[in-house]
Amino acid sequence: MTHNNMGWNFDNSYVRLPERFFENAEPTKVSSPKTVLFNKQLAEDLGLHANELQTAEGTAILAGNTLPEGAQPIAQAYAGHQFGNFTMLGDGRAVMLGEQITPDGERKDIQLKGSGRTPFSRGGDGRATLGPMLREYIISEAMHALRIPTNRSLAVVTTGDSVRREVELPGAVLTRVADSHLRIGTFEYAARWGSEEELRELADYAINRHYPDIEDNPDRYLTFFREVVKRQAELIAEWQLVGFIHGVMNTDNMTVSGETIDYGPCAFMDVYDPATVFSSIDVQGRYAYQNQPGIGQWNLARFAEALLPLLHERQEHAIDQAKEILGEYKDFYDDYWLAGMRKKLGLHNREEQDSVLIQDLLDIMEESDADFTNTFRALTLSEPEKTPMHGEEAFTDWFQRWQERLSRQEKSRDEVFQLMKRSNPNVIPRNHRVEEALEAAVQNGDFSVTERLIEVLSAPYAYTKDQEPYIKLPEPTNRPYQTYCGT
């Protein structure tokens, strides 16, 4: 254990749950750790002393070579539906050090990812390679800057050890920070292998941690389910509004807090195509962009099944109640998505025909192979001529209807512009830019490209000059862009 001159302030509530939900697991030591990315602002928000954490002693903690004071390292148990098939899982290459209580009184999980084998590793080595850890850092921090609920990244440390995949690759450990790592799959695990009492304890724990307002509600488990349904609907709507494709929406990657978690084969869409899939393992397109809202509902149905014993003592009654709430998901999602799309088009009020106006634009974008982000950027900046749709009759007609729609609301041009600017990012983590950053780091040990990218992505709504090189699209290619899980 280290001396606590670093600001650690652990209060580990998860380990007070029944032992079924975790296994003790110490991180495996690495040979020569070196911090290559460090999130100073996040460290300070957590109440940690950034300068101390960047010393050799701090690096040893971020690598898993020493434990901070108050840590109780564990691997969490959970199950999950992976591509539709149910399986037992658990943290196979992640160790949770504990829960940091921030100066604001918030509780945050501190987890090391890629820190070696745990009792849940099955055949794996529990290690992670540098590329996927940098990708998670870049994209999770970009998502945070886009104001989308997400786990955060505190640091990436290279280990000095190589990891064997198809080839030898440099090893790395990511320090991940989250409101919690409670997943739909945690509840599936409790329902399948735990007692009803243990399931109840888990649900009470999740309510206390994430939905304390409903603790005294006599129907609290039903209300809990409804709150999670709402948060997932809102989260997935926010993904769709920026063209984010998660890539592996398995139930073990969906949190009950409503945070985005697990940045494996995720990516942002360039050309607007609802059928876009990036993940190399998603051969059927189960997790394509257009399928994300529906998969959200499918995952929530698995959550409902796990909660049934708590909803009502008569199962058929519990099923009816759960179905009714699950049926509200689509309305929640549509409301969040439509509200977000109105903002993207500068609409401050509602009109009945807005959804038609929005869908017509998306159809024209798809037809013209228009870039998703840059189309809304061009509309924000009143530069429709910068889209491939410019000059096409359908777009000219649409643009006219949109201008008429804007004129029917009592808002100035500037108010419209400000709303659009706040709602349409100028920059996103373009896939070719992310790849360029990872390549420089992994091949040449050059982290400056990654640091510059993170800096540009930290203010996506700023519309500054220095962001302009990052707006450009990749060179045309016949090969579709693919991402890999990195496990």
Cα 305 from Cα 12, distance rounded (Å): 29
- Which of 453, 446, 404 lies closest to 427, judged by CA? 453
Cα 455 from Cα 467, distance rounded (Å): 10
Cα 457 from Cα 279, distance rounded (Å): 23
Cα 79 from Cα 399, distance rounded (Å): 49
Cα 380 from Cα 361, distance rounded (Å): 14
CA-angle at 482, arms to 480 and 483, nearest 5°: 165
Q: CA end-to-end span of the chain, whole Å?
A: 30
SS3 category, 113: strand
Cα 374 from Cα 323, distance rounded (Å): 39
Neighbours of 409 (CB within 10 A): 14
From 91, 179, 252, 371, the catalytic residue: 252
Number of H helices, E strands in the chain: 16, 11
Look at phi and psi of residue 37 and say left if phi exceeds 0, alpha if psi is from -120 to 50, else beta: beta
DSSP string for 269-314: -SB--TT---BTT-TT-TT-GGGHHHHHHHHHHHHHHHHHHHH-SS
Neighbours of 79 (CB within 10 A): 25
CA distances from 9 to 33, 61, 109, 115, 210 (A): 24, 14, 12, 22, 20
Look at phi and psi of residue 185 and say left if phi exceeds 0, alpha if psi is from -120 to 50, else beta: alpha
Catalytic annotation on 252? yes
Neighbours of 273 (CB within 10 A): 16
By annotation, the residues acting in catalysis are 252
